[in-house]
């Protein structure tokens, strides 16, 4: 089933759905780039890893060996040897967030990073946001091109372009793409997108002097929607988008859904 909307589907932004969309977009962006990239460049998947102190769990001792019950033989031996027992924090699971790297096939040099902005990237105070901003700075300091795709209306501003400058230049928008290109060091190249717009075709920069490849984001999104579970996850007849649409946007969206038989 194709997406009912001409561009991004606002029903897919909610926290229970967007992570799956995020991961699938990375997969299909990589597949699209495989066809587009000239000889000598390869798109590979990578993971940014951080520890989320809010996502803690007790360690699964069964994985490491038989547990010793509290006050058991091992505990008595250890504390009896003059060691002090100090309470330990629960184990924090590492969080992995996928993104794409375009590397030079000849020397494995990172040329361009492609990020689909996630919910954690836009959550103020979140470790994932800090990790993302650190990586963002590393790209710029290392002379690596950066393509950031923000398909989330909510949350704090996350892309490299300063928010005030972006809004002054672009006016009203719901989503956007920000490109930081080595060959244009003093500018951010931005594609603002309104809810009713088709997602843009964007230039993905490579090395200086090499023609960028043109990546059709709408085609990638459509494939992601068609081949994923998103028609079922959206539940158009049961939920409203999260974050909410404006009243005018809600009327527009419901009109599209009714025309396609997805709302009574």
Residue identified by tokens 């892309």 is 159
Q: Does residue 69 belong to any structural domain of this protein?
A: no
For residue 137, being part of any structural domain is answered with: yes
User: 86 pLDDT band (50/70/90 cuts)?
Assistant: confident
Give pLDDT tens digits for 192-226. Answer: 999 999 999 999 999 999 999 999 999 999 999 99
% pLDDT > 90, the chain: 75
Q: Which domain holds residue 203?
A: 10-55+92-259
Tell whether pTM > 0.95. no
Which residues neighbour 149 within 8 Å (Cβ) at sequence distance 6 or greater?
25, 114, 115, 116, 117, 177, 217
Name the domain count of the chain.
1
User: For 49-79, what is each residue's pLDDT tens digit?
Assistant: 655 555 444 444 444 445 555 556 665 665 6
Any domain includes 99:
yes
pLDDT digits (tens, 9 = 90+) for 124-153: 988 889 999 999 999 999 999 999 999 999
192 lies in a domain?
yes
């Amino acid at each position: 089933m194709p997406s009912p909307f001409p561009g991004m589907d606002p029903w897919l932004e909610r926290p229970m759905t967007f992570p799956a969309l995020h991961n699938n977009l990375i997969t299909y962006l990589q597949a699209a780039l495989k066809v587009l990239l000239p000889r000598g460049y390869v798109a590979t998947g990578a993971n940014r890893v951080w520890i989320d102190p809010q996502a803690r769990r007790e360690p699964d001792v069964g994985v490491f060996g038989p547990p010793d019950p509290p006050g058991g033989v091992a505990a008595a031996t250890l504390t009896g040897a003059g060691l002090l027992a100090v309470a330990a924090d629960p184990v924090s699971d590492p969080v992995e967030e996928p993104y794409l790297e375009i590397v030079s096939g000849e020397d494995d040099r990172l040329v361009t990073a492609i990020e689909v902005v996630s919910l954690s990237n836009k959550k103020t105070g979140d470790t994932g946001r800090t990790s993302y901003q650190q990586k963002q700075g590393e790209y710029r300091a290392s002379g690596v091109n950066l393509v950031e795709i923000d398909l989330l209306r909510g949350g704090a501003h996350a892309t490299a372009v300063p928010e005030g400058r972006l809004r002054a230049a672009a006016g009203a928008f719901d989503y956007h793409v920000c490109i930081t290109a080595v060959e244009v060091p003093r500018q951010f190249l931005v594609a603002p997108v309104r809810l009713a717009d088709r997602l843009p075709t964007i230039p993905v920069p490579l090395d200086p002097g090499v023609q960028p490849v043109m990546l059709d984001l709408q085609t990638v999104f459509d494939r992601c929607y068609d081949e994923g579970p998103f028609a079922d996850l959206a539940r158009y007849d049961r939920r409203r988008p999260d974050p909410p649409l404006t009243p005018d946007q809600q009327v527009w969206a419901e009109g599209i859904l009714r025309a396609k038989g997805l709302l009574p």
